[in-house]
Amino acid sequence: MLFSSSTFLFLFLPLVLIIYYVPLRKFRQGQNLFLLLASLGFYAWGEPWFVLVMICSILVNYGFGLWVDRNKRRGKSCRAPILLALLVNLGILFVFKYLMFTLSILNGLGAHFVIPVIELPIGISFFTFQALSYVLDVHRDRGQVQRSPLKVGLYISFFPQLIAGPIVKYETVADQIDHRQESWEDFSAGCARFVVGLGKKVLLSNQLAIIADRAYGMAGDGLTTSFAWLGAVAYILQLYNDFSGYSDMAIGLGRMFGFHFLENFNYPFAATSLADLWRRWHISLATWFRDYVYIPLGGSRVEGKARLIRNIFMVWLCTGIWHGANWTYLAWGMLNFALLMLEKYGGLGRGWPRFFKWLYPLLVFLLTCVFFRSDSIGLALRYLQAMFGFGAGLGDGLTVLYLTECWLPLLAAALFAAPVAPKVRAWANRRGWVVLDIGYALLIAGVFLVSASFIIKGTYNPFIYFNF
């Protein structure tokens, strides 16, 4: 079930809110049980069989959490339950996400495996990492073990962040499962945040996807330089508004139920270095790898540059692999690692004028995303060739047509990607402009009505990060 669907907006969400706040208003355990059942139903709506995979993940990791806690209380080593938890969770992820890819590689090397057709459960990378976070945080004393499997189930399956993040570490919400405080202020702020994300998704990302899909579909087949650049710009704006929009909706939904999730984006396109950009993009994934991969390897406290480079390399290797079973994701990860090392140790961007320090990480992001978006390395290289003048010419009428038709969502998407709105609100608040709050409320209402009309019409509505 998509957040940007009429079923979710006009049936599922209102029904869940009514039941949560009316008959169950003062019954926390009942609210938690209801949210768990609603979340499993939400997932089963589109994945009726794969909900069993999630239930198994919940029960298995509930058991691992108890095992870790028991060993700690008895003064025993937690190595066995931790290693087994890693093996089971990553094993499930490998079977569903990487087995077919691995077998195809082995067949290319001369093996003769029969490659099974394995359907990918939506959001398996997200809920698998959350399940691991529960076990690891119990081990690190970052959250109390849960004696009830229902509470572990709520943490892993909670529908706002279930299928496309943000990845919520257990330590950030462990106390909120039983002790969150709902308020009208949180609820109204959550509604506004949800509508902002809905607008990003429906009014911007979906429109820009039309340009990006057309351009990338033409790679190596009549793609001109101008349309290749337009398609690349449209894609990074689509990607940002799609994923940050979903994160906005998830954070907003969480606040409606009293949960406070950490931010997942912080205007990455305003960064003035590549390292700064990646600190601002998909923050929940970056912090997950920092806490559970980078720091356990020694982080930045290791002796010698070689070990530090190794640690950063491992993070980017894992990041590329996490995104999917395709050489393009691995190439994307390794390119970013190499450029980050060039920035850290080679002086890339050091001492440059501020404009160029802002421009170069944006260009790097745009160019490396060609690999992220393309279906193969070959198609990515052909797309880059077109961008640098080795395509079907420099310009064409298609570029003019799409610029004429889509200039408004392109401009709006660029504005949403820049920290314009918070600066305007901060400036107005310093002057006590109450009228701005009224205007903001009217704008939110307008965004919801227009987005709802697009949804009812059944416009193009993919979610990029559902694939992960």
Q: How far apart are CA 464 and CA 242, in angstroms?
A: 7
Backbone phi, then psi, for 145, in 5-degree steps? -65, 145
Q: How far apart are CA 449 and CA 455, in angstroms?
A: 10
pLDDT value at position 210?
92
Q: How far apart are CA 122 and CA 126, in angstroms?
A: 9
For residue 190 the two structure tokens come to 């959550």
Domain assignment of residue 47, yes or no? yes
Q: How far apart are CA 334 and CA 343, in angstroms?
A: 14
Q: Is 323 a catalytic residue?
A: yes
Domain assignment of residue 125, yes or no? yes
Which of 22, 398, 443 is CA-nearest to residue 214?
A: 398
Taking residues 336-344, report their average pLDDT. Answer: 95
Q: Which helix (H) or strand (E) holds 170?
A: helix 170-173
Q: Which of 112, 139, 179, 323 is catalytic?
A: 323
Domain assignment of residue 392, yes or no? yes
Domain assignment of residue 86, yes or no? yes
Which of 334, 329, 318 is CA-nearest to residue 90?
A: 318
pLDDT value at position 123?
87
Q: What is the 8-class DSSP label of residue 293? A: I
Q: Do 326 and 458 share a domain, yes or no? A: yes
The helix/strand/coil state of 346 is helix
Q: Do 314 and 441 share a domain, yes or no? A: yes
Q: How far is CA 316 from CA 309, 330, 331, in A?
A: 11, 9, 10
Query: What angle (nearest 5°) sits at the alpha carbon of residue 251, between those of residues 258 and 91?
Result: 105
Domain assignment of residue 109, yes or no? yes
CA 201 to chain centroid, in Å, comes to 13
Q: How far apart are CA 345 and CA 368, in angstroms?
A: 20
pLDDT value at position 379?
95
pLDDT value at position 461?
58
Average per-residue pLDDT in the chain? 91
Q: What is the 8-class DSSP label of residue 146? A: P
pLDDT value at position 151?
94
Q: Concatenated DSSP letters for 240-255?
A: HHHHHHHHHHHHHHHH
Domain assignment of residue 142, yes or no? yes
Side-chain-side CA neighbours of residue 207 (13 Å):
18
Taking residues 237-258, report their average pLDDT. Answer: 95
Domain end point (choices 121, 146, 180): 180
Q: Respond yes or no on whether the N-terminal peptide bond of residue 361 is cis (omega within 30° of 0).
A: no
pLDDT value at position 377?
95
The helix/strand/coil state of 408 is helix
Q: Do 357 and 285 share a domain, yes or no? A: yes
Domain assignment of residue 362, yes or no? yes
Q: How far apart are CA 345 and CA 340, in angstroms?
A: 8
Q: Do 304 and 440 share a domain, yes or no? A: yes
The helix/strand/coil state of 387 is helix
Taking residues 152-167, report their average pLDDT. Answer: 89
pLDDT for residue 460 is more than 70: no
User: Positive or negative CA dihedral for 414, 451, 187, 16?
Assistant: negative
Q: Which helix (H) or strand (E) holds 362?
A: helix 354-373
pLDDT for residue 48 is more than 90: no
pLDDT band of residue 132 (cuts 50, 70, 90) is: very high
Q: Which helix (H) or strand (E) holds 95?
A: none
Number of domains in the chain: 2
User: Positive or negative CA dihedral for 269, 275, 280, 286?
Assistant: positive
pLDDT digits (tens, 9 = 90+) for 268-295: 999 999 999 999 999 999 999 999 999 9
For residue 34 the two structure tokens come to 């209801």
pLDDT value at position 255?
95
Count of Cβ atoms closer than 10 Å to residue 315 Cβ: 19
Q: How far apart are CA 238 and CA 202, in angstroms?
A: 11
pLDDT digits (tens, 9 = 90+) for 6-31: 899 999 999 999 999 999 988 999 99
Q: Do 113 and 199 share a domain, yes or no? A: no
pLDDT value at position 360?
94
pLDDT band of residue 467 (cuts 50, 70, 90) is: low
| 330 in Cβ contact with 370 (< 8 Å) | no
Q: How far is CA 160 from CA 32, 35, 186, 312, 410, in A?
A: 14, 10, 15, 31, 28
Q: How far apart are CA 180 and CA 172, in angstroms?
A: 12
Q: Do 103 and 209 share a domain, yes or no? A: no
Q: What is the identity of the amino acid at 339?
A: L
pLDDT value at position 465?
56
What are the b/e assignments for 4-14, b being 16+ CB within 10 Å? bbeebbeebbe
Q: Do 387 and 243 share a domain, yes or no? A: yes
The helix/strand/coil state of 8 is helix
- Axis-axis angle for helices 397-417, 225-256 (nearest 10): 30
Q: Do 272 and 372 share a domain, yes or no? A: yes
Q: Do 257 and 369 share a domain, yes or no? A: yes
pLDDT digits (tens, 9 = 90+) for 90-115: 999 999 999 999 999 999 998 889 99
Q: Do 134 and 202 share a domain, yes or no? A: no
pLDDT value at position 311?
95
Q: How far apart are CA 31 and CA 21, in angstroms?
A: 9
| Lowest-confidence segment of 70-74, 403-407, 424-428 by average pLDDT | 424-428
Most confident stretch, 297-311, 374-388, 432-446? 374-388
- Rounded percentage of the chain residues whose pLDDT exceeds 90: 73
Q: Do 388 and 305 share a domain, yes or no? A: yes
Q: Do 113 and 206 share a domain, yes or no? A: no
pLDDT value at position 433?
63
Instruction: Please enumerate in sequence order all residues whose Cβ is within 8 A of that of 119, keeping only pairs 6 or more positions apart, or say none.
Output: 50
Q: Which domain holds residue 27?
A: 6-180
pLDDT value at position 219?
82
pLDDT for residue 359 is more than 70: yes
The helix/strand/coil state of 430 is helix
Domain end point (choices 123, 147, 180): 180
Q: How far apart are CA 4 and CA 463, in angstroms?
A: 9
Domain end point (choices 180, 209, 229): 180
Domain assignment of residue 1, yes or no? no
pLDDT band of residue 421 (cuts 50, 70, 90) is: confident
